[in-house]
Structure 1
Amino acid sequence: MGEHVIKLPDVGEGVAEAELVEWHVKIGDLVREDAVLAAVMTDKATVEIPSPVDGEIVWLGAEIGDTVPVGSPIVRIKVAGDAPSTAEPAAESKPEAKAPEAAKASSEPAKKEEEKTPTTPKPAAATAALKPVPRATTGLPRPEGERPLASPAVRLRAREAGIDLRQVPGTGPAGRVTHEDLDAFAARGAAVVVAGLQEKTGVEEIKVIGLRRRIAEKMALAKSRIAHITYVEEVDVTALEELRAKLNASKKPDRAKLTILPFLMRALVKAVAEQPQLNAIYDDDAGIIHRHAGVHIGMAAQTPGGLMVPVVKHAEARDLWDCAAEVNRLADAAKAGTATREELTGSTITITSLGAMGGVATTPVINHPEVAIVGVNKIMIRPMWDGTQFVPRKMMNLSSSFDHRVIDGWDAAVFVQRLKALLEAPAMIFVEG
């Protein structure tokens, strides 16, 4: 038998390492060629690592959440024949430390075999040393979900007193709750818990890995390095909603349905043409602002795995329908987990929207290293004074954040007011010049 070593491949240009986010195998598994062994993530793109051979998994070189350098061994597979191994000497690896769950799984068959085979009785002293102290003699609370043992009389007394037996430590044989245990429970002044309203003490530990860790790092970086200023303005979108409804009613079957986002994208293109400092990247380490001619709009999208920001490239060259189609395509790719690294990078300004859940106002976090983000809040019908009477109008707030290190409050206000003017008179969005 030989051994085949699989190393972490180069998963992208300039990528020196990747985070292991999922194992599809464990030690002892038999795998076929092309079977998926693991998934790694870099720059919010997940890449699956397939097996190049048939064989048995004998070693896993990392745990979920570990950052693995490109070229490092991650899997060893036992194969038929005398295939040479490309891994480091086995003595230098520590599979038991890297894959505790797999090691546990591999020990279970041996344990079952041991139970079938008669063994020589151990000395009494050794047996006593290995025997755990029964919980019943310690009076410790039982694990959550375990049914308490008690006589009918004890159960009746507890029920009449409104005591949940699951909260009472039992000191009788096998952890049985006795009358004395009830007395001690009451004497300690323990809170009486009505059945069905018992306290819960369980704590679930969830390791922050993969996309969630990337999001956490990105948000922490943005908030720690960017001096945020948020400007909120209300916009009357009654005319815009009427135009949108008419365009959707007469659209061609092969065209995407228009939401408010394509209109905002086209308005944003016109606004940043007048204020190019808003369509920029700030390299705060070098102290350089990179103003971009092309408008690459990041679209913050919620996916099953967490927040992702696919990018509509060159929005300045797209019409209303093209913007809508590209937003739909990228949103579907992000939710399906098929968005490429190219589709998730390169934005120069970002739009974030929670749709109908958008609330009255938000304080968006800037997508570092950009300098501006535009937040869309939900549309609500509100009474507005037209000079003679109150009339119902469709109103929506824009909540926009800016990097106050490079964008002054006045410039931020001018930018938002320009967006407001374009959205309230949507015909102006389509006027060139």
Structure 2
Amino acid sequence: MQCKNLILIQKKLIHVFFKRSIMDVIIQVPNIGFEEAEIIEILVNVGDIIESDQGIVTVEGQKASIEIPTTISGVVKKIFVAVGDIVIPGTEVVMITSNQKKENNNSLLKSSSLNNDDNTYHITNKFKTSIKQTNIPHLSYKTLLHASPAVRRLSRENNINLDDVKPSGPKGRILKQDVELFLKNKEVLHDNVNIKQYHQDDNDALLMKKTNINSDQFGVIESLKLSSIQKKVSINLSKSWKTIPHVTHFDEIDVTQLEKFRKKLNMNIDDNVKKITLLPFIIKSLIQSLQLFSKFNSSFDEKNNLIIFKKYINIGIAVDIEDGLTVPVLKNSEQYSIQQIAKNIDNLVENARNHTLNVSDLKGSSFTVSNLGKIGGTGFTPIINYPEVAILGLSQMCIKPIWNNDKFIPRSVIPISLTYDHRIINGLESAKFIDFLKKNISSMNFLLS
């Protein structure tokens, strides 16, 4: 009898021991600097054994991406998200079954809440502290580098800066073989080639650092850090400028008749309704031009030397906001009337300036328009929004004397500038595109379709 009781007591002790030692931990999205982000990659599977600091998902928001790690070792029990999901701080990502001892996880338990019914810990927004302890850069240039902890460890062991390694994995991910190839080339070229020339983009950055002048030696200066949006825009523009051979075609569009029509149309609109500008009319005509000259609505696959023609027309609208430049996208614009285009543009611009754009609003453009009409200028050279192949710039409308074979008459004209990728588009194609756009707008034929 005593023996039976002893066995029962032992079983209870074992049950209590495992109940206290094994726990389910739910990892949530920490506060990583943007209000919402998109899951672009899931790095683990159910049943995987993972270590602390190992990446579990990669998220992208506002043109920046970051890998979210776990702060606890264990087995992946459940995944709550899928690729393409939009998440916010606090969204549950994965559940991990862990048998780490409580005394080894005091910092974790302090930032967790325990559900006594199911023995589950929830990592809350205080998980941000744990993120910093894993040396994950916070929305810096290195945020754009994707590499697993194993790859990062290999690079540290061989004193390799991952900035110098050219990625070959999906979404710019640095793979183990990329580091091994870099190491091999480094050994071969060590005596003959300056390692800074291995990757041209990084060589330029290093050269800028070496040639940076301390301006304060000449007088008083003031420094201002770039905003996160400005950093992302600068990276994208630099990539476009270094990758694409830009050529800009300048011309003017006679909008005299269109401007009269627009003013007459606005006279029939209630005073409390926003008036229609010239931009929606130009975009409507531009859509017809892109349908006829489909190469301007494409992108270039450099790796496979392919031109990717897009059957949809998504117009990016460059918008100047308080802390930088952003490009919300007018999706499937060919489906809309001029009034609908005007309304959608107004909504996108308002959301951009109120910082209420969704991540999806900033993706998928196939052609971009940069409008400086309200500011001024007679022309400029817009930089292509990579990976597109062309961009249209609009300057301020002005009155010009135009000769009509009899006399000079005043006409309303808009200076335009079409910048294109000379690898894909030649000068003749550009001239034909502009000629069609000009005639379509001047004659107002686009209103008939």
Residues of 2 paired with 1:416 and 1:68: CA distance?
Answer: 41
Scaled by the length of structure 2, what TM-score is found?
A: 0.56
Distance in 2 separating the partners of 1:377 and 1:363:
11
Q: Does the alignment pair 1:8 with 2:6?
A: no
The answer to whether 1:308 aligns with 2:326 is yes
| Offset at residue 70 of structure 1 (A) | 1.3
Q: Using the alignment, how far apart are the partners of 1:367 and 1:309 within structure 2?
A: 9
Counterpart residue identity of residue 69, structure 1: E
The CA deviation string for residues 238-293 of structure 1, in whole angstroms up to 9 with x for no partner, is 11110110111113678642111111111011111111111112222332221112
Name the CA distance, whole Å, in 2 between partners of 1:310 and 1:412. 25
**Deviations 1:297-346, CA, capped at 9 Å, x for gaps:** 00001011211000111111000000000000000011111111111110
Match of 1:367 in 2: 385
Question: 1:212 maps to what in 2?
Answer: 230
Q: SS state of the match for residue 230, structure 2? A: helix
Amino acid at match of 2:412: K
Q: Distance in 1 between matches of 2:112 and 2:226?
A: 41
Query: Is 1:390 aligned to 2:408, yes or no?
Result: yes
**What secondary structure, in the 3-state scheme, does the structure 1 residue paired with 2:374 have?**
helix
Cα RMSD after superposing both structures = 3.7
The verdict on how the C-alpha distance between 1:234 and 1:70 changes in structure 2, with shifts beyond 3 A counting, is same
Distance in 1 separating the partners of 2:339 and 2:129: 59
1:322 aligns with 2:348: no
Please tell me the residue identity of whatever aligns with 1:71: P
Amino acid paired to 1:13? I
Q: Which residue of 2 aligns with 1:356?
A: 374
User: Kindly tell me: are residues 85 and 249 of structure 1, through their superposed partners in 2, closer, same or farther at Cα, counting changes over 3 Å?
Assistant: closer
Q: Who is 2:183 aligned against?
A: none
Change in Cα spacing, 1:45 to 1:68, as seen in structure 2 (3 Å) is closer
- Alpha-carbon separation, structure 2, partners of 1:381 and 1:403: 31
SS at match of 1:378: coil
Deviation at 1:399, TM superposition (A): 0.6
Q: Residues 56-102 of structure 1, C-alpha deviation per residue, up to 9 Å, x if partnerless? A: xxxxxxxxxxx853136699799699967967999x9499x99xxxx
- Equivalent residue for 1:230? 248
Is the contact between residue 227 and residue 323 of structure 2 (CA under 8 Å) also seen in structure 1?
no
Q: Which amino acid aligns with 1:430?
A: L
> Counterparts of 2:113 and 2:292 in 1: how far apart (Å)?
69
| Residues 341/6 of structure 1: CA separation in 2 closer, same or farther (3 Å cut) | closer
Number of equivalenced pairs: 285
Do residues 429 (structure 1) and 440 (structure 2) align?
no
Structure 2: how far apart are the matches of 1:245 and 1:395?
16
Superposed CA deviations along residues 157-210 of structure 1, whole A, max 9, x for unmatched, are: xxxxxxxxxxxxxxxxxxxxxxxxxxxxxxxxxxxxxxxxxx993333333341
CA distance in 2, matches of 1:81, 1:230: 57
Name the CA shift for 1:349/1:78 in 2 (closer, same or farther; >3 Å): same
Secondary structure at 2:415's aligned position in 1?
A: strand
> Is the Cα contact below 8 Å between 2:31 and 2:128 reproduced in 1?
no
- 1:5-35 Cα offsets, whole Å, 9 max, x none, are 9763793120689xxxxxxxxxxxxxxxxxx
Amino acid at match of 2:448: V
Question: Residues of 2 paired with 1:94 and 1:262: CA distance?
Answer: 48
- Partners in 1 of 2:129 and 2:355 — Cα distance? 37
Q: CA deviation at 1:382?
A: 1.5
Q: How does 1:241-252 map to 2 (within 5 A)?
A: 241-251=259-269
2:420 to 402, 408, 416: 402
283-292 or 410-419: which moved more?
Answer: 283-292
Aligned to 1:145: none
Relative to structure 1, the CA distance from residue 386 to residue 232 in structure 2 (aligned partners, 3 Å threshold; closer, same or farther) is same
d(CA) in 1 for partners of 2:354, 2:113: 41
Q: Secondary structure at the match of 1:265?
A: helix
- SS for the counterpart of 1:243 is helix
Cα distance in 1 for partners of 2:330, 2:112 equals 51
Specify every segment of 5 or more residues in structure 1 that has no aligned partner in the other structure, as ranges: 18-40, 47-66, 99-198
**What's the offset of the Cα at 1:229?**
0.9
Residue 70 (structure 1) aligned to one of 60, 68, 71: 68
> CA separation in 2, counterparts of 1:249 and 1:68?
50
Deviations 1:360-379 (A, max 9, x none): 01101011101111110101
Contact 2:316 2:369 in 1 (8 A): yes
Q: Assess if the C-alpha contact under 8 Å between 2:227 and 2:324 holds in 1.
A: no
Q: How does 1:102-251 map to 2 (within 5 A)?
A: 201-251=219-269
Task: Give the distance between the partners of 1:81 and 1:282, measured in 2 at CA.
Answer: 48
Q: Secondary structure at the match of 2:401?
A: strand
For 2:129 and 2:335, the matched residues in 1 are separated by 56
Distance 1:307 1:326 in 2: 19
Q: Distance in 1 between matches of 2:354 and 2:288?
A: 32
* TM superposition score normalised by structure 1: 0.58
Letter in 2 for 1:12: E
Between the aligned partners of 2:424 and 2:335, the Cα distance in structure 1 is 27
Task: Name which of 23, 44, 50 aligns with 2:62.
Answer: 44
CA distance in 2 between counterparts of 1:281 and 1:225 reads 13
Instruction: Report SS of the residue matched to 1:360.
Output: coil
Please state if 1:411 is matched with 2:409.
Answer: no
The structure number with the bigger radius of gyration is 1
Flag the structure with higher helix content: 2
**Amino acid in structure 2 at the alignment position of 1:272:** L
Specify the code of the residue in structure 2 equivalent to 1:203.
Answer: I
